[in-house]
Amino acid sequence: MTAPELVLTPSEMKQADLEAMARGIPGIELMRRAGRAVADSAEKLASPGSRIAVVSGPGQNGGDGFVAATILAGRGYRVSLGLLGSLDRLTGDAAEAARDWTGAVVPIEELPLQEADLIVDALFGTGLSRDLDGATRHAVDRMNGSGRPILAVDLPSGIDGGTGAVRGIAVKAVRTVTFAARKPCHLLMPGRAHAGLVEVADIGIGRDILAAKGGSLFGNDPALWLASLPRPGLSSHKYERGHTLVASGGATRTGAARLAARAALRIGSGLVTVASPPEALGVNAAHLTAIMLKGCDGPEGLHAILQDARFNAVVLGPALGVHAGTRAMVAVAVQARRNLVLDADALTSFEGLASELHGAFRHAPTVLTPHDGEFARLFKGHPDILDPESKIERARRAAAYSGAVVLLKGADTVIAAPDGRAAINANGTPYLATAGSGDTLCGLIAGLMAQDVPAFEAACAGAWIHGEAGASFGPGLISEDLAELVPGVLRGLLR
């Protein structure tokens, strides 16, 4: 079975580089391997003998550029090299790599970028420490404006390796070669959009080193949770596959709960019940078949239903209404210690009241599924949670604060557990940005939790399956389609 993908922050990667060196691989050797990987990748983009312009910066990323330039010139390409700063200010392995380059070194502004068939961007990598301005800004502007394809070394210059943010301006690459492991910027937006196709080159830093220096951040793919995915046994009966309860809104707000309920059923929850306010029973009944229906009058109603221990997963939030009654229903579900997924109105009802949720979810598996707007409302007045530039850090802090797994939605959904594990999901499609798509997601997660999948794995698997289902449909996707696409995704996973 393949191991989960480790994603390393720039500082973790630096530690891993140092550890590899301490174990006997000289830094210059790592750089030569990195530069060779860049040259190999460049060959996929530029035909033999064509013109390649390498833009090198003042640090070790620039060193990778010198190695690649030397190798590509040796392979018959017409390589020109521009350097930001002067040769005599290069240090360490980059200085050594530059000594191997026998061609001319010109100031960056003199590089004939328009005439190049390919530009190699080795301006800045993980060592970017401030916004680009002046000459660096101008250089990136010229690269992007050239209209020529750009191959980024490690990451597109101007992108913050840890957060994926654009620091002033950033290279728009068609392809990026990174080393040993992806960094957060390759998965988080907008960095992911700037990186183009990302290739991870093995430069000989072992997984043991990567796991020792990183180890808590993952790319969300099946390797992370496939083993937890439920597979019914030959003699399973429906009661062993869990019973998910989804609370419905009032008579004109019932669709969201049904979307969540249908997703829970499709992902394998043995039974699913919609808990409906009395006035909405008719409309819910008219639209439900395999899914069951129960009257539920607010928090007292929920309390009564949860006396039955077989309801082992609860979804609260989709179109439930923003008011104290919703907060009271959350309190009932927390008290009952059921697997719990809180979304939408269940989060917004706590606007500015996050302190009521401090540590609240420590005692039972809980997943919160806010998008950025719900997250900002929920944690209003908590700059320690809202202010970190890194989406990973924001999600981690919210998880640690609440005791719940926090799934912070978007094109780059981040899932964080209270114990510090986090995963970045990047398999979705913009066609998922459609009404009710989040309701389906929370149903998938709850349906998995009903089948005893732990909260973090359920959230990661739910996000991935949701993304895969959406991507398999593409244009024209509406939320009603999503649950129907789940079986196809499951078939691929459980084959």
Ligand X SMILES: NC(=O)C1=CN([C@@H]2O[C@H](COP(=O)(O)OP(=O)(O)OC[C@H]3O[C@@H](n4cnc5c(N)ncnc54)[C@H](O)[C@@H]3O)[C@@H](O)[C@H]2O)[C@@H](O)CC1
User: In 288-436, which ranges are continuous DSSP H helix?
Assistant: 298-305, 324-335, 344-348, 372-378, 383-386, 391-402
Would you count residue 27 as binding ligand X (CB under 6 A)?
A: yes
Would you count residue 467 as binding ligand X (CB under 6 A)?
A: no
- CA–CA distance, 33 with 207 (Å, rounded to integer): 17
Minimum distance of ligand X from residue 65's CB (angstroms): 9
Tell me the β-bridge partners of 416: 406, 422
Tokens of 333: 């579900």
- CA–CA distance, 72 with 45 (Å, rounded to integer): 12
- CA–CA distance, 37 with 202 (Å, rounded to integer): 8
Amino acid occupying residue 200: V
Is there a contact between 364 and 333 (Cβ–Cβ < 8 Å)?
no
Minimum distance of ligand ADP from residue 264's CB (angstroms): 15
* Interacting positions 462-481 with K ion (CB under 5 A): none
Would you count residue 73 as binding ligand ADP (CB under 6 A)?
A: no
Would you count residue 410 as binding ligand ADP (CB under 6 A)?
A: yes
Would you count residue 59 as binding ligand X (CB under 6 A)?
A: yes
Q: Tell which one of 6, 7, 16, 31 touches ligand X (CB under 6 A).
A: 31
Which of ligand X, K ion, ligand ADP, none has residue 121 at its interface (CB below 5 to 8 Å by kind)?
K ion
Bond into 190 cis (ω within 30): yes
Is there a contact between 464 and 427 (Cβ–Cβ < 8 Å)?
yes
154 known ligand binder = yes
**What does the per-residue mask of binding to ligand X show for 125-164, with x meaning CB under 6 A?**
xxxxxxxx---x----------------xx----------
Q: How open is the CA angle 93-95-98, to the nearest 5 degrees? A: 110
Which of ligand ADP, K ion, ligand X, none has residue 64 at its interface (CB below 5 to 8 Å by kind)?
ligand X
**What does the per-residue mask of binding to ligand ADP show for 371-390, with x meaning CB under 6 A?**
x-------------------
State the sign of the Cα–Cα–Cα–Cα dihedral 106, 110, 115, 116. Answer: positive
Which of ligand ADP, K ion, ligand X, none has residue 454 at its interface (CB below 5 to 8 Å by kind)?
none
Q: Nearer to K ion by C-beta: 56 or 339?
A: 56
Is there a contact between 378 and 348 (Cβ–Cβ < 8 Å)?
yes
**Number of residues in contact with ligand X under rule CB under 6 A:** 26
Would you count residue 435 as binding ligand ADP (CB under 6 A)?
A: yes
Q: Tell which one of 9, 157, 178, 390 touches K ion (CB under 5 A).
A: 157
Q: Nearer to ligand ADP by C-beta: 20 or 477?
A: 477
Would you count residue 127 as binding ligand ADP (CB under 6 A)?
A: no
Minimum distance of ligand X from residue 96's CB (angstroms): 10
- CA–CA distance, 195 with 160 (Å, rounded to integer): 12
Would you count residue 345 as binding ligand ADP (CB under 6 A)?
A: no
Q: Say how many residues make up the chain.
A: 495
Tokens of 234: 């030959």
DSSP-derived letter for residue 365 is -
CA distances from 221 to 46, 227, 484 (A): 32, 12, 21
List residues forming the annotated binding site: 60-64, 121, 125-131, 154, 157, 256, 371, 409-413, 438-439
Query: Which residues in this chain contact ligand ADP in the complex, by CB under 6 A?
Result: 371, 409-411, 413, 428-430, 432-433, 435-439, 441, 466
Query: Which residues in this chain contact ligand X in the complex, by CB under 6 A?
Result: 17, 27, 30-31, 34, 57-62, 64, 93, 124-132, 136, 153-154, 179
List residues forming the annotated binding site for AMP: 409-413, 438
